[in-house]
Chain A
Amino acid sequence: NAGVTQTPKFQVLKTGQSMTLQCAQDMNHNSMYWYRQDPGMGLRLIYYSASEGTTDKGEVPNGYNVSRLNKREFSLRLESAAPSQTSVYFCASSGLHTGGVEQYFGPGTRLTVT
């Protein structure tokens, strides 16, 4: 039981390049989330998906797109990376029993945009 997995663990991009961050969970959870974590800012919600086939914007969605590929997988895409998107990105999931209160987080992707 791997929980929430994220790939890649580290990535360096040049300004304007695109990339997709992958996330998968094996806990049969309905809801999945993407956050970014910056020093002094805590975790900020980028997008979330309450169930397969639905997505909704969070606090900081600009510059990102998401795809809920199936119940297990939720990807985050940066179409044209900017230095302001340098951050640590976390994916999380939660089950019906506890709603979004108990979220299980992946290990994170450290992204640097130069």
Chain B
Amino acid sequence: QKEVEQDPGPLSVPEGAIVSLNCTYSNSAFQYFMWYRQYSRKGPELLMYTYSSGNKEDGRFTAQVDKSSKYISLFIRDSQPSDSATYLCAMSDDGNKLVFGAGTILRVKS
């Protein structure tokens, strides 16, 4: 069993939809939770970062962490075609070495 599980998709939604992306994990020592976005043939870039449990909002993006359920989510409101990318969750216990999920491919249709 992988430490971090993420549905690979692809997830296809119409423009303006609310998107929900999720990851589950098994290592209860994880304290740092991140979402990276990767456009085709590019390197990943950090989108959101949360320490421990709770919610964090940044514009159209909201990250949620539920440590009791070992479950994290990323919500994208008013999705745009420019949001089409692969979204990778990543986690860490020490804040240095990251464990990534497999990534979810998101396609937003105009």
Q: Are chains A and B native binding partners rather than an unrelated pairing?
A: yes
Chain A residues with CB under 8 Å of chain B are 4, 31, 40-45, 48, 50, 58-59, 90, 92, 98-108
Q: 17 new A-B pairs (CB below 8 Å) besides A101-B95, A105-B43? A: A31-B96, A41-B102, A42-B88, A43-B100, A90-B43, A99-B96, A100-B94, A100-B96, A101-B34, A101-B46, A101-B92, A101-B98, A102-B46, A103-B46, A105-B44, A107-B41, A108-B43
Tally of contact residues, B, Cβ under 8 A: 25
Chain A: CB-nearest residue to B4: A42
Query: A105–B90 Cα gap in the complex (Å)?
Result: 14
Q: Is the pair A48, B49 in contact by a Cβ cutoff of 8 Å?
A: no
What are 6 contact pairs spanning A and B, CB under 8 A?
A4-B43, A31-B96, A43-B88, A58-B97, A100-B95, A107-B43
In the complex, which residues of chain B have a beta carbon less than 8 angstroms from the beta carbon of A100?
92, 94-98
Instruction: Point out residues on B near A: beta carbons under 8 Å.
Output: 4, 6, 8, 32, 34, 41-46, 49, 88, 90, 92, 94-103
CB–CB B96/A50 < 8 A = yes
Q: Across the interface, which residues of B come within 8 angstroms of A59, CB to CB? A: 99
How far does the alpha carbon of A106 sit from the alpha carbon of B42 in the complex, in Å? 8
User: Are A40 and B43 closer than 8 Å at their CB atoms?
Assistant: no
Q: Which 7 A-B pairs have the closest CB atoms?
A: A105-B43, A100-B96, A42-B100, A99-B95, A43-B100, A42-B102, A102-B46
